[in-house]
Structure 1
Amino acid sequence: MDNFTEIIGFTAAILTTAAFLPQVYKTWKSKDVSGLSMPMLIMFFIGITGWLIYGILIHSPSMIFANAITVVSSFLLIYFKNKYGKK
């Protein structure tokens, strides 16, 4: 049962992480951050960091995998928002 549970977890992890990456790539290429909300990005970053810590604490490889990548991706969007946003 644990293998089946982790297969579901990794499938969800791959899909949700892959869905987020095009936004990071598009923002990086276009440098257009006008549609990104800094409060949302910060709340999302904190939430994903919480999920990463939770995944580590419960020893869930799928949660660690997905959330580690998404923490980096959301950090990049915060960086791009600061760098390319109107001051």
Structure 2
Amino acid sequence: MDFYEVIGLVAAFITTASFLPQVFKTYKTKDTSGLSLTMYTTFFVGIVLWLIYGIHLKSLPMILANSITAISSLFLVIMKLKYK
């Protein structure tokens, strides 16, 4: 693993970790009034495209970060629809 792969893994961890408090708070409170369905839906699609790109490049940081973020953002979209 080279220096840039380590940088990528650290970046993936930080950006993914910064997203998770929103997921946990929304799950705990069931309050989705502050979430934009349009934003999270387009965000999810963008993350899935980044995931596909990361898979194509065989980039572990991109695959890990975008897999977790895709699942998290899909979870928020589902909760937004469920708890309108």
TM bracket (short chain): over 0.9
Q: 1: CA distance between counterparts of 2:2 and 2:80?
A: 39
Q: 2: CA distance between counterparts of 1:30 and 1:63?
A: 30
Q: CA deviation at 1:16?
A: 0.3
Q: For residue 77 of structure 1, what is the amino acid of its counterpart? A: L
Q: 2: CA distance between counterparts of 1:3 and 1:82?
A: 42
Q: 1:7 is matched with which residue?
A: 6
SS where residue 2 of structure 2 aligns?
helix
TM-score by length of 2: 0.98
Q: 1:48 is matched with which residue?
A: 47
Q: For residue 79 of structure 2, what is the amino acid of its counterpart? A: F
Q: 1: CA distance between counterparts of 2:29 and 2:54?
A: 33
Instruction: Give the unaligned 5+ runs of structure 1.
Output: none
The percentage of counterpart residues that share the same residue type is 56
Count of aligned pairs: 84
Q: 1:71 is matched with which residue?
A: 70
Instruction: Give the unaligned 5+ runs of structure 2.
Output: none
Structure 1 stretches (4+) deviating beyond 3 angstroms? none
Q: 1: CA distance between counterparts of 2:71 and 2:6?
A: 23
Q: 1: CA distance between counterparts of 2:41 and 2:30?
A: 19
